[in-house]
Structure 1
């Protein structure tokens, strides 16, 4: 958890107890919990607004719709052709490459 070890965590708890006292700790924890819940709710609201606006604009597409128009065979052939060119260039510079088994 955040790169904090057991001894360090214990020391932090001890310092917090000394600063605030045992009666204030539950109030502080509740306040932190409420704040984190409000932050989570706000981020969820922002996400939902972004998704709604994307749906209205027609921007949102599934990955299958996007990927259906891509010619993967042509891409593979192009990549393989480039790899072969590089292999030939290396062989021209250094001679044939022998694999040791």
Structure 2
């Protein structure tokens, strides 16, 4: 269906989109789409990194220092959308 579009039809579709959404809304929509893509990419990297890291239990639990809470950021320098990650406590139960 899309492969059969002629250049004039594509121009008409773009013109209709501009009329519907307006020139002011399109850059804002593109920015939010890019930000969403960056968030998705960073979340996927974090999940992949968590899967690759082997879980090594500490030999002496009293010697282990509490780790600072991790924070996932959407983009470098973007502190408005960063949030702490809540991780479940992994305790050995007998």
TM-score (norm 1): 0.42
Q: Please identify which structure carries the higher helix content.
A: 1
Q: Please identify which structure carries the higher strand content.
A: 2
TM-score (norm 2): 0.45
Q: Whose RCO is larger (CA < 8 A, sep 6+)?
A: 2
